[in-house]
Amino acid sequence: MPSPFPGMNPYLERAAVWSDFHARFIPQAADALAGQVAPRYFVKVGEHVYLHERSADERKPLGRPDVSVHPAGDAAARGVAVATSSPAPSAVFIPDPVDEVRVPFLEVRDRTDRQVVTVVELVSPANKTTGADRDQYWNKVRTVLKTGASLVEIDLLRGGPRLPWRDMPACDYYALVSRYPTRPRVDFWPIALRDPLPVIPVPLSPGDPEASLDLQSLVHRIYDAGYFSLFLYDGPPEPALRPDDAAWAAGLLTTPAGG
């Protein structure tokens, strides 16, 4: 059964759920695009890697002795059985004192020369939260915008500050498409919580028909395939919904199937 929400399901934004949803979204989107862009193009999954250095206090030992070994002494001489043990292990530490956050994205590449034609990004919390990860992501976006590649960016997270696109209208979610030939103009789809998610174009090289991504179908498919209904509603949405939206959402969750 698909998600009970007509558009984005706000419960999928919960921190305990989002990384799973994101990890499922990217390969599903890749599969949806691959047949549309072949044979001239192919779709490749890439990863942003964000490194977070840990403090010395967080570098925990991987092993420690759990058996105390004492000389047998007089006990052995008296014929008393004495437990023996291998020498106690030394403590070792994780080699790299960093945590890695990996965020997948898509590239559409020309099959002939392997050049990137379009980049497709599903925005993650790491991309939005103010700090080094956001800066790294935005620098990558600006680099793409200086090349001959198009950009598709999808933000299905209400939380966190928006990325610094100019003249962005108020909305809960959005999708945007920056086509290489029409920059600096960017097509923008503002999406409210109660709106169905749109079908958005995925540009290819100038002159070739564009592919498309049906975002609503993707969300419903992922919701079903991941059996999210079994555990998704054990906590409130994050961030919290506005009171009127919370009442609306509660009504959707208590409506019987087919009602």
Could you list the beta-strand ranges (E) of 167-220: 173-178, 187-191, 199-202, 211-214
Beta strands in 83-202 (DSSP E): 98-110, 116-122, 150-155, 173-178, 187-191, 199-202
Identify the burial level of 131 via C-beta atoms within 10 angstroms of its C-beta, where 0-12 means exposed, 13-18 middle and 19 or more buried.
exposed
Residue tagged 């999954």 (tokens): 45
| pLDDT at residue 48, rounded to an integer | 74
The neighbour count for residue 257, using CB atoms within 10 Å, is 6
51-93 tens-digit pLDDT? 656 555 554 544 444 444 444 455 444 555 555 566 777 776 6
> Per-residue pLDDT tens for 134-159?
999 999 999 999 999 999 999 999 99
- Quick: pLDDT tens for 208-257: 999 999 999 999 999 999 999 999 999 999 999 999 999 999 999 986 54
For 150-186, the pLDDT digits (tens) are 999 999 999 999 999 989 999 999 999 999 999 999 9
Q: Which residues are bridge partners to 104 per DSSP?
A: 47
Do 136 and 186 touch, CB atoms closer than 8 A?
no
